[in-house]
C-alpha cells in the first residue's frame, strides 16, 4: 500500500523559513557593526584641531599692527630728537684734554643757540670749515669740538702765552696751571678783531689742537650745538 506523500512536505517548509530568518538576523548584526564603525570614525574626527575662529585671527592682526605702529613711532621720535634736539658725538682726538679724552662720548644740545646766544667758555660741536679741510686734506673728520674763546666784536690777543680779551686777561680755570696759549710758531698772538657772526675757538690741549689759530674764526652757521654732558665712559659721566 503506497505511503502518503503529503507527510514529507510540512517537515521541509519550516526548515527553509528558519534558515532565511537566521541569515537575516546575521546580516542585520553585520550592518549594525558597520554602523558602529562609522560612529567610531565620527568620534575621531571630533579630536582633530579646529580652525581658528575669525575673531581670534582679527585680534592677532590688530595686536601685530599696534606693535608695528609703536615701534615705528619710537623710531620716528628718535630720528626727530637726533635731527632737531640732541645728538651723541664721540671725541676723535686728544685736542680737548684734559676736559675730554679721545673716545669719550658727549651729548650735544642742538636747540641751545636757538634759545640763547653762544657764550664764552661753551664747548661746541661745529662742522669742519673749508680752511681746516685745506690744511688737512687727508683728515676725513666732519665735525670738530672746541671751546669758544672769542665772541663777535672781541679783540683777542695773547701776552706771555695768556689770552687777553679786549686787553684783559681771560680766566681759564679748565686749563692745567702753566698752560701757554701761543701761535703754532710759539709766538704770542697779535691783536685781532673777531668779525660779526663769527667765533674764535680753541682746544683745551693748547699744545696739540688745530683750531682758530690755524684755520681762523668759524661762522655761526657751522655750529651744530653745545656739548653739555659726557655720557661715556660711564665712570666719568658729568656735565661740561
**Residues marked as catalytic:** 95, 146
The dihedral sign for the CA sequence 99, 85, 115, 215: positive
| CA-wise closest residue to 131 among 186, 193, 211, 199 | 211
The residue assigned the cell 595686536 is 63
Closest CA relative to residue 222, chosen from 134, 137, 157, 132: 132
- From 141, 148, 155, 78, select the one nearest 120 (Cα to Cα): 148
Bridge-based pairing of strands 123-127 and 238-239 is unpaired
Other Cβ atoms closer than 10 A to 66 = 10
> Closest Cα to residue 201, out of 107, 91, 124?
124
User: Which residues 6+ apart lie within 8 Å of 214 measured at CB?
Assistant: 131, 132, 135, 184
Hey, how many other C-beta atoms are within 10 angstroms of the C-beta on 222?
A: 17
Closest to 85 (Cα-Cα) out of 112, 125, 122: 112
Amino acid at each position: 500500500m503506497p505511503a502518503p506523500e503529503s507527510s514529507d512536505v510540512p517537515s521541509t517548509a519550516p526548515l527553509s523559513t528558519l534558515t532565511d530568518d537566521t541569515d537575516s538576523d546575521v546580516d542585520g548584526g553585520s550592518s549594525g557593526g558597520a554602523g558602529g564603525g562609522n560612529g567610531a570614525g565620527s568620534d575621531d574626527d571630533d579630536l582633530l584641531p579646529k580652525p581658528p575662529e575669525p575673531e581670534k585671527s582679527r585680534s592677532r592682526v590688530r595686536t601685530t599692527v599696534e606693535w608695528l605702529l609703536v615701534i615705528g613711532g619710537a623710531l620716528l621720535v628718535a630720528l626727530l630728537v637726533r635731527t632737531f634736539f640732541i645728538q651723541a658725538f664721540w671725541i676723535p682726538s686728544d685736542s680737548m684734554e684734559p676736559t675730554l679724552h679721545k673716545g669719550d662720548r658727549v651729548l650735544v644740545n642742538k636747540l641751545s643757540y636757538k634759545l640763547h646766544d653762544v657764550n664764552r667758555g661753551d664747548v661746541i660741536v661745529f662742522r669742519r670749515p673749508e680752511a681746516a679741510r685745506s690744511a688737512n686734506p687727508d683728515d676725513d673728520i666732519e665735525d670738530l669740538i672746541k671751546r669758544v674763546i672769542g665772541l663777535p666784536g672781541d679783540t683777542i690777543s695773547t701776552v706771555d702765552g695768556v689770552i687777553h680779551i679786549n686787553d684783559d686777561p681771560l680766566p681759564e680755570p679748565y686749563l692745567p696751571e702753566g698752560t701757554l696759549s701761543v701761535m703754532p710758531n710759539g709766538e704770542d698772538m697779535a691783536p685781532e678783531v673777531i668779525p660779526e657772526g663769527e667765533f674764535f675757538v680753541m682746544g683745551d690741549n693748547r699744545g696739540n689742537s688745530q683750531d682758530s689759530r690755524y684755520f681762523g674764526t668759524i661762522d655761526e652757521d657751522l655750529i651744530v650745538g653745545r656739548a653739555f654732558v659726557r655720557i661715556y665712559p660711564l665712570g666719568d659721566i658729568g656735565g661740561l
